[in-house]
Amino acid sequence: MNERYSRQILFQPVGKSGQEKLSNSRVLLVGCGALGAAHAEMLARAGVGKLRIVDRDFVEYTNLQRQTLFSEADAKERLPKAIAAKNRIAQINSETRVEAIVADVNHSNVENLIKDCDLVLDGTDNFQIRYLINDACVKLEKTWIYGAAVSSYGATMTIFPYKTPCLRCIFEEMPSAGSAPTCDTAGVIMPIIASVSAIQVSEALKILTGNFDRLHKSLIQIDVWQNDWRKIKLGKPNADCECCGKGNFEFLEAESIEFSAVLCGRNAVQIAPPKPTRINLPNLAEKLKSYGEIKLNEYLLRLNIDEYELTVFRDARAIIQGTDDVSTARSVYAKYVGS
């Protein structure tokens, strides 16, 4: 066993056999923003063998205050977060194999992303996708660790399908749009990211090394500014739960794919084609070159048009910055990328 893990192996609940288990594990990280970047770094340093990192976004300067894996160079390059994370982890631990996937997680791909992983960590920023993860993990009986952080407040819970309450047992209905604070409206400070991600990763290490008796078995809510720590003990799954009680996976079976999404904290909208496709970025750059200076790299194309900034990815998704109005963003997309 590699000497780099000696201090972790000395920690008795991990030991040599736990370290071995970590190196043979594959963990899916959904989202590589503030929470996801913290998950990725801690799990790579701990010696988890394989990380599958899925994120739809690229690095911006406003991320650097709290997203620890990324650098000014990544923001300047507008590297996709999954790619920037992979590059940085290669410098931190070359033994961890990172599969970087630049994509939007939705009902068409979520089961494939999850099914060969040992564990799923939530590093997302919205309930729509968490309910989707919950449906897929309950259906496939995969353990997942919910985590959320905004302002100075955060929450986390570990979900063992059919053994502990699932997300919908606890939060039956999705909060209605505009009702919950977001990083956009309330801001966020880094210590809450560090706190929530530390609890999530501790739970992940317990699960991957087989220390199930040490799991916290609760919904933990923390406010690092108000000095408030709450631990609500979880009972049994709710027999009337639409998801784990009745087997109604409505977020997986959604007929219409979410075509657009307002991005948290960004004054930006993502537009995604109904079916993932491949787009030839150099060809598109050629078509658009009369509109202004185009930045093109292997993963994306970027162009300022009027008051908007258009970023197009290889899977034909686009992020339109400068508006939080979906119909405005759709028309920009239709005009310059095609419908």
Residue 253 forms beta bridges with which residues? Answer: none
**Closest to 271 in 3D by CA, of 209, 234, 313:** 313
Pairing of strands 153-159, 97-102: unpaired
Compare residues 101 and 167 and give the one whose CB is closer to Zn ion: 167
The nearer residue to Zn ion, 252 or 329, going by C-beta atoms, is: 252
In three-state secondary structure terms, 311 is strand
Amino acid at 9: I
Min. distance of Cβ 111 from Zn ion in angstroms? 18
Name residue, tokens 């686009």.
Answer: 318
Interacting residue ranges for Zn ion, rule: CB under 5 A: 166, 168-169, 241, 243-244
In whole angstroms, how close is the CB of 166 to Zn ion at the nearest point? Answer: 3
Tokens representing 220 are 């933990």
Which DSSP category does 237 fall into? P
Measured from the CB atom, the residue of 134 and 182 that comes closer to Zn ion is 134
If the CB atoms of residues 128 and 211 are measured against Zn ion, the closer one turns out to be: 128
Written in H, E and C, the secondary structure of 276-298 is: CCCCCHHHHHHHHHHHCCEEECC
Distance in Å, CB of 241 to Zn ion, minimum: 3
Q: How far apart are CA 122 and CA 230, in angstroms?
A: 20
**Measured from the CB of residue 130, what is the shortest distance to Zn ion in angstroms?**
13
* Encoded tokens for 142: 């995969």
CB of 238 to Zn ion, least distance (A): 6
* DSSP per-residue codes, 104-143: ---TTTHHHHHHT-SEEEE--S-HHHHHHHHHHHHHHT--
Contact 25, 95 (CB under 8 A): no
The DSSP letter of residue 65 is T
Ramachandran class of 151: left when φ > 0, alpha when ψ lies in -120 to 50, beta otherwise: left
Q: Name the residue nearer to Zn ion (CB basis): 128 or 151.
A: 128
Considering the complex, state which of residue 107 and residue 168 has its C-beta at the smaller distance from Zn ion: 168
Q: Which is nearer to Zn ion, 43 or 169 (CB)?
A: 169
For the bound state, the minimum distance from the C-beta of residue 302 to Zn ion, rounded and expressed in Å, comes to: 42
Residues in Cβ contact with 28 at an 8 Å cutoff, skipping those fewer than 6 apart: 52, 54, 113, 114, 117, 119, 120, 121
List residues bridging with 98 in a β-sheet. 51
Name the residue among 222, 109, 116, 202 with its Cα closest to residue 158. Answer: 202
Supply the minimum distance, in Å, between the C-beta of residue 210 and Zn ion.
25
Nearest residue to Zn ion on Cβ basis: 241
Task: For Zn ion, give the closer residue by CB, 5 or 249.
Answer: 249
The least CB distance from residue 250 to Zn ion, in Å, is: 13
